[in-house]
Amino acid sequence: MPVKTPTLVIRGDRDMFADQGLAAKIPGAQERIIADATHWGPYERNRDHIIDAAERFLANE
């Protein structure tokens, strides 16, 4: 069954675990890549960029 809900894929540019093609596999998905972040981005110094990307997506910006 295809995903019909707006989807945001956030990953760090140094994430060795995330599927780099995931956003392309989900029709209509948006992708945000956070610089200098790994798979543990929410716990790293750039976490504010992750939060900002999620807030903008939820606000439809």
Range of the domain at 45: 8-58
Query: 35 to each of 11, 47, 49, 50, 60, how far by Cα in Å?
Result: 9, 10, 9, 10, 22
pLDDT, one tens digit per residue, over 19-49 is 999 999 999 999 999 999 999 999 999 999 9
Within a domain: 3: no
Residue 61 pLDDT class (50, 70, 90 cuts): low
Q: Which of 5, 3, 12 is nearest to 44 (CA)?
A: 12
Q: Which residues contact 15 (CB under 8 A, 6 or more apart)?
A: 37, 38, 39, 41
Task: Please tell me the total count of domains within the chain.
Answer: 1
Within a domain: 43: yes
**pLDDT for residue 2:** 78
Within a domain: 25: yes
Within a domain: 1: no
